[in-house]
């Protein structure tokens, strides 16, 4: 069993985060131009200030990019720990792929229709996958 | 107790998701009390929008879950550095366990009583642990 198999989903989610970064700026910069915001004169603002200024669906891409820097950091830690501990193959790799697939679906929903109930359903499923990985790491590292 | 510095990391990851469950359980019952219906929520709403709607003690759980996705990301990176570079030895493991136990105490405090001087004291203690681990990681990786 290839214990590094779990690094495939890790690399995929990292790359997906960068794709969301591109999507965020590809929509944000034109929207800033339309809103007549001159970034050259701005001092000290953060992306959050744009929530009041840009259309909601432009900010949804940024909301999702920010989310990708939140819970997935636990995913990266656990996945790398499982790989280092020789537990990154088989079922754990499949669960990790499920997590990444669900996170990509979550991104697509939040960046487009953004219906809260759908988003929550996908987030709950992804969280269950992450809970399973955490339990396997706990069993492997703490109980053994 | 396990003899790997990765064990406290696994415990903290699991604890983070236990906090997520605590957030969900308290938030949903508070939302139904407040008459918030997700089915008719406007598109794009987020957890932060509930700050003005739900009681503070409900939002405290969520504040703590958010914190668990901030500084601990540095902790995970540092313990992996230590593990991969020969720094996974007795006393570094104890410091890592201390960090995780203090984070759990911090969560319980923030989610319930949440008096700030106590929270700040716990925060300072575990940050000192992380500081020590970071210095040890620099020594282990350069050495």
Q: Buried (b) or exposed (e) across A104-130, using 16+ Cβ within 10 A?
A: bebbebbbeebbbeebeebbebbbebb
Distance CA B106, CA B79 (A): 20
Higher-pLDDT residue of B139, A42: B139
The CATH number of the domain where A46 resides is what? Answer: 1.20.120.550
Domain of A47 in residue numbering reads as: 7-143
- Token pair 């109980």 is found at A143
- Would you call A77 an interface residue with chain B, using a CB distance cutoff of 8 Å? yes
List of chain A residues whose C-beta atoms are within 8 Å of the C-beta of residue B45: 116
What structural domains does chain B harbor?
6-142 (1.20.120.550)
* Cα distances (angstroms) measured from residue B19 to each of A32, A111, B23, B117: 37, 26, 6, 22
Identify whether A118 is part of a domain: yes
Express each pLDDT in B29-78 by its tens digit. Answer: 999 999 988 888 889 888 888 998 999 999 999 999 999 999 999 999 99
Contact B14 A134 (CB under 8 A): yes
**Rounded percentage of chain B residues whose pLDDT exceeds 90:** 81
pLDDT at B72: 97
pLDDT category, B2, cuts 50, 70, 90? low
Neighbours of A86 (CB within 10 A): 11
Contact B69 A74 (CB under 8 A): yes
Number of domains in chain A: 1
Identify whether A2 is part of a domain: no
- pTM of the entire predicted model: 0.86
On average, the pLDDT of chain B sits at 93
- Please provide the DSSP assignment of B89-131 as one string: -HHHHHHHHHHHHHHHHHHHHHHTT--HHHHHHHHHHHHHHHH
pLDDT at A40: 82
How many residue contacts between A and B have a Cβ separation below 8 Å? 88
Express each pLDDT in A57-99 by its tens digit. Answer: 999 999 999 999 999 999 999 999 999 999 999 999 999 999 9
B17 → closest Cβ in A85, A113, A130: A130
- Would you call B85 an interface residue with chain A, using a CB distance cutoff of 8 Å? no
> Over 60: is that where the pLDDT of B130 sits?
yes
pLDDT at A48: 85
């Amino acid at each position: 069993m290839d214990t590094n198999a779990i690094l495939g989903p890790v690399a995929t989610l990292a790359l997906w985060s960068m794709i969301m970064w591109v999507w965020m700026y590809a929509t944000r910069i034109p929207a800033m131009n339309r809103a007549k915001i001159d970034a050259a004169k701005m001092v000290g603002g953060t992306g959050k200030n744009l929530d009041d200024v840009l259309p909601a669906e432009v900010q949804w891409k940024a909301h999702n990019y920010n989310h990708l820097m939140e819970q997935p950091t636990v995913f990266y830690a656990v996945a790398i720990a499982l790989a280092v501990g020789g537990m990154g193959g088989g079922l754990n790799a499949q669960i990790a792929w499920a997590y990444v697939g669900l996170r990509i679906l979550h991104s697509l929903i939040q960046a487009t229709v953004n219906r809260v109930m759908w988003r929550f359903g996908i987030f709950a499923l992804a969280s269950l996958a992450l809970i399973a990985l955490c339990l396997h790491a706990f069993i492997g590292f703490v109980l053994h | 107790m396990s003899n790997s510095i990765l064990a406290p990391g696994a415990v903290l990851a699991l604890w983070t998701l236990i906090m997520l469950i605590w957030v969900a359980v308290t938030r949903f019952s508070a939302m139904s009390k407040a008459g918030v219906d997700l089915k008719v929520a406007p598109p794009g709403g987020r957890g932060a929008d509930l700050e003005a709607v739900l009681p503070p003690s409900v939002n405290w759980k969520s504040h703590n879950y958010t914190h668990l996705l901030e500084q601990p990301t540095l902790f995970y990176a540092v313990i992996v550095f230590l593990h991969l570079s020969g720094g996974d030895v007795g006393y570094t493991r104890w410091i890592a366990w201390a960090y995780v136990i203090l984070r759990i105490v911090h969560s319980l405090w923030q989610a319930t009583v949440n008096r700030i001087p106590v929270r700040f004291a716990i925060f300072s203690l575990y940050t000192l642990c992380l500081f020590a681990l970071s210095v040890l990681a620099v020594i282990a990786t350069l050495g």
